[in-house]
Amino acid sequence: MIEAIRIGLIVVAVVLGLFFTFVSATGVIRLPDVFSRAHTASQADTLGAGFALAAVALTLGWEPTTVKTVLLLVFIFVTNPTAAHAIARAAYEEGIEPWTTGDERR
């Protein structure tokens, strides 16, 4: 019974991870400029990778390796916004004006 729930949770986590990665990929294609794309690109890292790693942790069960998975998650959560910020700041300092409603889509 517990095993079934565990497998169910793993499947849910993998599907959610895939879903958010898909959304993120769609966003990168659909959104108009570098700033809005940076928003959605970091989504893939936070929840996409987040749920995938959660699935990994569940698959492994109670093992020392699971702790490493959680640590991986922690590092992703620290580095991901830093990277997104670096991209956005680089764009800002290049003088790129953020796209607003009414502007032409590129």
Partner 1 sequence: MAAEEAPRLVVPVQRSVTLRQTVDYAMAEVLAADGEPTVHFVFMATWRGGDPGTDADRDRAEALLDQIRIWARYECEEAGVNPETIEIETALIGLESYLFSPDEYADLLTSYAADHDLDRVVVDPEYSLVGHTTLLQPLEFELERSKLAIEEAPVDRPTRRDRLVSRPNLPRFLALFGVSFLFYQILGGFSGTFDLVTGIATAAIVAITLDSVSFYRDPTLVDSPKRILRGVVYVPYLLYEIVVSNLVVARLILDPRLDIDPRLTKVRVFVGSGFPLTTLANSITLTPGTLTVTAEDQELYVHSLAPFAREGLFDGSLERWVRFVFYGREAARFPSPRERGDTEVLQEPSDAASTDADESGGEER
Pick the closest to residue 57 from 85, 17, 91 (CA basis). Answer: 17
Q: What is the rounded distance in angstroms from the CA atom of residue 89 to the CA atom of residue 83?
A: 10
Q: Cβ of residue 5: shortest distance to partner 1, in angstroms?
A: 21
Q: Establish if 71 lies at the interface with partner 1 (CB under 8 A).
A: yes
Q: Which is nearer to partner 1, 2 or 88 (CB)?
A: 88
Residue 18, helix vs strand vs coil: helix
8 binds partner 1 (CB under 8 A): no
84 binds partner 1 (CB under 8 A): yes
Which of 43, 52, 56, 69 touches partner 1 (CB under 8 A)?
A: 43
